[in-house]
Amino acid sequence: MIKAGVIGGTGYTGIELLRLLSTHPEVELAMISSRSEKGVPVSDVFPSLRGRVDLVFSDPAEADLNACDVVFTATPNGVAMTHARDLMANGVRLIDLSADFRIRDLSEWAHWYQLEHACPELVEEAVYGLPEMNRERIRDARLVANPGCYPTAVTLGFLPLLEQGLVDPQNLIADAKSGVSGAGRGAAVATLHGEVADSFKAYGAGGHRHLPEIRQCLAHAAGETVGLTFVPHLLPIIRGIHATLYARLTDTTVDLSELYAERYADEPFVDVMPAGSHPETRSVRGSNYTRLACHQPQDGGVAVILAVEDNLVKGAAGQAVQNMNLMYGFDETTGLQALPLSP
């Protein structure tokens, strides 16, 4: 049994962490922080956790974080890096769900996030927490940079093609859509029900802060820099990501479904669907699964890969728990076996 703490327990990612950790058989929830809800019982803020979580929210500045074995930071960008150095000096392992440790190039990170990094020496040590790419490194990590939701879907979708050198890495396109929970729990006009319902739009077409993270992942898989066009969209749904990915094939004879099935055969949370399938966001809602399907339309010269995930689970909290399981030698699927919700 390990003791886990959560810094930033009142956002959508935070409550998803609490939901998963509160039923994990190897975890004791020891601390949950929130400056805005300090002293308030967690179950008063989130009645869904009544009978499961009996903690009260504490101020992170006053909480005994060093009593934890592992701390999850589900905080705005720029917060986790202020805690990292002290936590690691005291032997506490850190799984950061923000972007503070994802991007290796600190000048590019500063450009996209408009911050100066507080502990640049730890960026090099941080392990990017995509198990399908870095499983063995995650096991020994002290600091894990949990991937973003869009980067998870796009990377898993392109990974087999790039690893095998089957596509032109300079002409990749990711057309990705997210539910409104991806924007966070803070009040904003753009995510009001009256603004989002019965509508659909692109945003960040000129550049999105997940772009450098995705390019970094794809370049690692390809062994060279990549050319990527990434355009995110906002869906009028609460949870879910759907990514439609396009790549020009250099070998049109390859059986894409067979390639993907073989690459992900031993991955517990990647489901390669039969050729010609069209996965839906509802097929992964509430679960840690990514479902993929492969197509070669028209003349077969372009691979079209469809990827769906729950942005709050495999795209955030579930993947963080998956990483924790690897770090502590638990079965990778522990606490994550729940099937998707349907309807």
State both tokens at 212.
């450098």
Q: How far is CA 331 from CA 86, 140, 196, 320, 328, in A?
A: 29, 15, 39, 14, 9
CA–CA dist 254, 221 (Å, integer): 19
CA–CA dist 24, 175 (Å, integer): 35
CA–CA dist 198, 107 (Å, integer): 39
Neighbouring C-beta atoms of residue 261, cutoff 10 Å: 19
What is the helix, strand, coil percentage profile of the chain, to 5?
Answer: 35, 20, 45
Q: How far is CA 101 from CA 39, 79, 85, 94, in A?
A: 30, 11, 12, 11
Taken in order 95, 97, 102, 108, the sign of the CA dihedral is negative
Parallel, antiparallel or unpaired: strands 2-7 and 27-33: parallel
CA–CA dist 177, 199 (Å, integer): 13
DSSP helix/strand/coil, 314: helix
CA–CA dist 262, 160 (Å, integer): 9
Beta strands in the chain (DSSP E): 2-7, 27-33, 70-73, 93-96, 127-128, 143-145, 167-178, 201-202, 228-234, 241-249, 270-272, 290-295, 302-309
The reply to whether 68 belongs to the active site is: no
CA–CA dist 336, 245 (Å, integer): 27
Q: Considering the candidates 68, 149, 217, 294, report the single residue annotated as catalytic.
A: 149
Active-site residues, by number, are 149
